[in-house]
């Protein structure tokens, strides 16, 4: 076979990688690609993109990425800004950054040659973990090494009735041992992908298709269900069958068995496995953000965006001027914090009351429940921004969407545009046209948008 498929990434124990609509690489990019470094690079990019992201989402990103940077050398020459722009919307932005850093390392320190084994890949390339290393090495270089992703965890836990927390070190180590033993020595890449595909299409989290499963005869979870069914049916006819065993395990302090407090639940069948410890709820954060708008030279609106620091959450991405808020602040205080932040940008006194409240936008990052408290401010003159602060620029709507901005910021702009449409629609009750001067400049009232000049004139205290 001259092609391979994009399969799910290393996570998603409880989700399915939608392999039923696989993206087929061209043979030149896949296993028949004679250039081993290009082959490894293609698999590497797809694996990094697929971490925490569904195949359907990745296909377009992958295609554009490979068109723009078809080789490691091309990627090594790209700027972080270009990488962030192409990655925008894919989430987990540090992945793109580290991919590019690693490409630079391969070019500058390894003479452009990809490491050929899972051990070297993991050791030498930033951002390449055990799963990604195993996938690249087995698919691209034929190394007989296993992989363990969310789909494989599910299949193996069911095959061997492993009911302890599937994220515990004892279970993870055991699953890797099993994957490395099971992997087909002659076709490791195909075997690994087949195992992941089995988890994605047959041994799915809910309602697995055990009747169609090609490995059901080897599956302890399935056998247990079958025994229970036989037991129930014999009981119905008054026979006294032996109590079903629990296969080879389930006693003592086995680190792989279900804890005594969570025994096998017959109503769940094979979906007793795998089990995960309860997730910690995401941390709640509030951020005030301001859509600063002005009329561009052709009358179309332009927005001010600023660049985030080069490290930390959403590193290097662009956003509307924003400031983190403490929890439980009064609405008035939140406005003041944002006004103070903008004042630092513009070097002039700002009146918090001049900011128009747009609404709240929720965005869930992997570990953060972020609430953006969105305000807007229309500027009718130019502003001098302090060049010592973060880089900033004015962009049209089109440029905004083409920039390295997060999905969260796109939601913020959408909320702002929705509010503008509402205001400009007579049917919705607001008579004020977009861009019209706010009434009562000099005596601003909450919720009314002011021009910058009026905003700067507005009193800072009620």
Please list the active-site residues: 47
Q: Which of 9, 22, 163, 208 binds ligand SF4 (CB under 6 A)?
A: 208
In the bound complex, what is the minimum distance in angstroms from residue 226's beta carbon to ligand SF4? 10
| Interaction pattern, residues 157-186, with ligand SF4; x per rule: CB under 6 A | -xx---------------------------
Separation between Cα atoms, residue 382 and residue 450, nearest integer Å: 15
Separation between Cα atoms, residue 190 and residue 259, nearest integer Å: 35
Separation between Cα atoms, residue 453 and residue 70, nearest integer Å: 50
Half-sphere CA count of 62, side-chain side, radius 13 A: 27
Binding residues for ligand SF4, how many (CB under 6 A)? Answer: 15
Task: CB nearer to ligand SF4: give 13 or 213.
Answer: 213
Using the rule CB under 6 A, is 221 a contact of ligand SF4? yes
Using the rule CB under 6 A, is 219 a contact of ligand SF4? yes
Stretch that binds ligand SF4, among 5-13, 116-124, 155-163, 321-329 (CB under 6 A): 155-163
Q: Which of 74, 80, 202, 285 binds ligand SF4 (CB under 6 A)?
A: 202
In the bound complex, what is the minimum distance in angstroms from residue 4's beta carbon to ligand SF4? 22
In the bound complex, what is the minimum distance in angstroms from residue 109's beta carbon to ligand SF4? 43
In the bound complex, what is the minimum distance in angstroms from residue 279's beta carbon to ligand SF4? 23
Task: Choose among 213, 200, 104: nearest CA to 152.
Answer: 200
Q: Which of 130, 216, 286, 353 binds ligand SF4 (CB under 6 A)?
A: 216
Binding positions for ligand SF4, 270-289, rule CB under 6 A? 270
Q: Which of 55, 137, 152, 210 binds ligand SF4 (CB under 6 A)?
A: 210
Separation between Cα atoms, residue 133 and residue 10, nearest integer Å: 11
Q: Which two tokens stand for residue 34?
A: 């004679």
Could you tell me the CA-to-CA distances from 442 to 65, 142, 333 in Å, in that order? 51, 73, 21
Show contacts of 137-140: CB within 8 Å, 24+ apart: 138/183, 138/188, 138/189, 138/191, 138/192, 139/4, 139/31, 139/43, 139/189, 139/192, 139/193, 140/31, 140/36, 140/39, 140/40, 140/42, 140/43, 140/114, 140/189
Give the binding site for ligand SF4 (CB under 6 A). 155, 158-159, 202-203, 208-210, 213, 215-216, 219, 221-222, 270
């Amino acid at each position: 076979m001259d092609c391979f498929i994009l399969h799910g990434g290393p996570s998603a124990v409880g989700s399915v990688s939608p392999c039923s609509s696989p993206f087929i690489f061209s043979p030149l990019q896949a296993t028949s690609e004679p250039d081993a470094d290009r082959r490894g690079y293609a698999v590497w990019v797809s694996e990094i993109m697929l971490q925490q992201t569904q195949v359907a989402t990745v296909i377009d990103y992958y295609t554009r990425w490979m068109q723009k940077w078809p080789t490691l050398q091309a990627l090594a020459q790209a700027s972080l800004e270009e990488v962030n722009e192409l990655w925008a919307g894919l989430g987990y932005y540090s992945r793109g950054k580290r991919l590019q850093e690693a490409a630079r390392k391969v070019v500058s320190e390894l003479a452009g040659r990809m490491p050929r084994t899972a051990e070297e890949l993991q050791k030498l390339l930033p951002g390449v973990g055990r799963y990604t290393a195993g996938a690249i090495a087995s698919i691209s270089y034929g190394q007989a090494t296993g992989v363990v992703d969310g789909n494989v965890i599910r299949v193996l836990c069911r095959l061997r009735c492993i009911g302890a927390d599937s994220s515990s070190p004892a279970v993870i180590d055991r699953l890797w041992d099993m994957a490395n033993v099971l992997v087909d020595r002659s076709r490791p890449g195909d075997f690994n992908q087949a195992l992941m595909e089995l988890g994605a299409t047959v041994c799915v989290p809910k309602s697995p298709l055990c009747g169609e499963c090609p490995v059901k005869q080897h599956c302890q979870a399935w056998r247990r269900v079958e025994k229970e069914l036989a037991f129930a049916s014999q009981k119905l006819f008054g026979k006294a069958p032996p109590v079903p065993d629990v296969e080879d395990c389930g006693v003592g302090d086995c680190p792989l068995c279900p804890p005594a407090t969570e025994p096998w639940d017959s109503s769940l069948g094979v979906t007793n496995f795998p089990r995960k410890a309860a997730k910690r709820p995401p941390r709640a954060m509030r951020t005030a953000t301001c859509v600063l708008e002005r009329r561009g030279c052709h009358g179309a609106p332009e927005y001010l965006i600023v660049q985030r620091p080069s490290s930390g959450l959403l590193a290097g991405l662009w956003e509307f001027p924003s400031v983190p808020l403490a929890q439980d602040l009064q609405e008035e205080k939140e406005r003041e914090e944002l006004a103070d932040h903008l004042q630092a940008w513009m070097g002039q006194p700002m009146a918090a009351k001049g900011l128009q409240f747009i609404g709240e936008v929720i965005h869930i990052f992997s570990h953060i429940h972020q609430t953006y408290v969105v305000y807007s401010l229309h500027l009718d003159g130019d502003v001098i921004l302090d060049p010592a602060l973060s880089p900033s620029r004015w962009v049209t709507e089109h440029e905004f969407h083409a920039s390295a901005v997060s999905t969260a910021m796109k939601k913020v702009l959408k909320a702002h545009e929705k509010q503008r449409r509402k205001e400009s629609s007579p049917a919705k009750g607001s008579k004020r046209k977009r861009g019209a001067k706010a009434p009562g400049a000099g005596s601003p009232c909450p919720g009314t948008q002011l021009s910058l000049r009026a905003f700067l004139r507005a009193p800072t205290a009620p």
